[in-house]
Structure 1
Amino acid sequence: MSAFGTLQGIARRTRSRAPMETVPQAEVTIAAGIQGDSRGVAREGKVPRRQVALIEAESWQAAMADLGLMPGMELPWYARRANLCVAGLRLPREAGRVLAIGPTCRIETTLECDPCSRMDEIAPGLMTALTPDWRGGVLGRVIRDGPVSVGDEVRIVR
C-alpha cells in the first residue's frame, strides 16, 4: 500500500440501528462528526472517542473472502456500519495518529473498531472475519472541520 489512499465511500445513519445512507460528500465537524450521522455528535464536556468509524476497502474484501460468499453476493462496505471507506492506505493501528482527508478535514485515531455481535446478525461469521488485524476498522475523533468527497485523497500526517 502507498503513503496515501482514496476516500472510496461515505455513509451515515440518522439513529442507532437505522439503515446506512451513502452520500457522495459530507461536512465533517468537531461538533457533529459526519453531518447527519447520529453517532458523531459530541456531548458537552466529553472528548469523543467513537465519532467517526473508518474501514479499509481491502480489509472488507478480505473479510468477504473469508465468508466464502458466492460471487456477486458480497455485502457492501457500509454493512459494517462504518462512516468512511478508504482504499489503498493501511489505516494506523494505534491511537493518536492523524488522518488528512480532502483539503482541511483531520481525524485523530482513538481505538480499534472491534466487531460486535451485530455483525453476525448481518451475516453469520462476519464478526470472526473482521477480527484479525484491525479488519473492523479504526475509530476516531474530528480535530479539524472540513468537507469530504468520494475520491478525496487520504493520508497519514502524524
Structure 2
Amino acid sequence: MGVLVGIARHAFPKAPMELLDAVDVTVEGGLHGDFRGAVKPGGRGKRQVTMMERVDWDAAMGELGHTIAWQERRVNLLLDGFDIPQVPGTRVRIGAVELEITVECDPCSRMETIAAGLKGALTPDWRGGACSRVKVPGRIAIGDRVMVVES
C-alpha cells in the first residue's frame, strides 16, 4: 500500500502546474480544473488522470544530477511507496476514487526543455508514469492511501 504525496493540475495546455492539497475527481472531467481530464465527445478518456511514482522521479533526477520539482513532469498525481501496475485495465484506488490504468505516460519532447536528457531518463520501465480513466468519482487528498483494487 502506498500514499498520495502530490496533486497537481493545469487549466490549459502549457499552463503552470498548480499544486493542491485535495481535489474532486469526476468521471466526466477527471481532476476538477485540469483541462486534460474532460472526456471529449466520442472519446474514451484514456488520459484523464496521470500519475507517477516518487521513486522514479527521484531516480531520474539522480541520473541527471538535478533537483527539479516533480510537478514539472506535468503529471497529476505523485505516489510514494506504490509500484504502479504496468497492466492496462488494472484499477487503482486512491482514497475513495478508483482509476483504471490505460497506457504508459510516455515522456514528451517538452521534458528536454526542462533538463537535457530528462525524456530519456523517464523512458525506461514506465518511469514517466501511467495514464488512467476515472471509474469511481470522489475526492482525493494528500495522505490518502493508494492500493490496487482486487477483482
Tell me which interval the TM-score lies in, with the shorter structure as reference length.
over 0.9
Corresponding residue number in structure 1 for 2:113: 121
Query: What is the correspondence of 1:42-121 to structure 2 with a 5 Å cutoff?
Result: 42-69=39-66, 74-102=67-95, 104-121=96-113
Corresponding residue number in structure 2 for 1:147: 139
- Could you list the runs of 4 or more consecutive aligned residues of structure 1 that deviate by over 2 angstroms after TM superposition? none
Aligned-pair CA distance for 1:5 = 0.2
Query: What is the correspondence of 1:18-33 to structure 2 with a 5 Å cutoff?
Result: 18-33=15-30
Amino acid at match of 2:94: I
- Give yes or no for the alignment of 1:133 onto 2:125: yes
SS at match of 1:114: coil
Amino acid at match of 2:104: E
Aligned-pair CA distance for 1:45 = 2.6
SS at match of 2:112: helix
Amino acid at match of 1:131: T
Corresponding residue number in structure 2 for 1:38: 35
Counterpart-to-counterpart distance in 2, 1:120 and 1:45: 32
Aligned-pair CA distance for 1:44 = 2.5
Counterpart-to-counterpart distance in 1, 2:29 and 2:69: 25
Counterpart-to-counterpart distance in 2, 1:35 and 1:123: 29
Aligned-pair CA distance for 1:94 = 1.4
Aligned-pair CA distance for 1:47 = 1.1
Counterpart-to-counterpart distance in 2, 1:14 and 1:108: 23
Counterpart-to-counterpart distance in 2, 1:84 and 1:24: 11
**Identity within the alignment, %:** 45
Counterpart-to-counterpart distance in 2, 1:120 and 1:44: 32
For structure 2, the 5+ residue unaligned runs are: none
TM-score (norm 2): 0.97
For structure 1, the 5+ residue unaligned runs are: none
Aligned-pair CA distance for 1:43 = 1.4
Counterpart-to-counterpart distance in 2, 1:109 and 1:151: 21
Counterpart-to-counterpart distance in 1, 2:138 and 2:42: 22
Counterpart-to-counterpart distance in 1, 2:57 and 2:87: 19
TM-score (norm 1): 0.93
Please provide the CA RMSD for this pair.
0.7
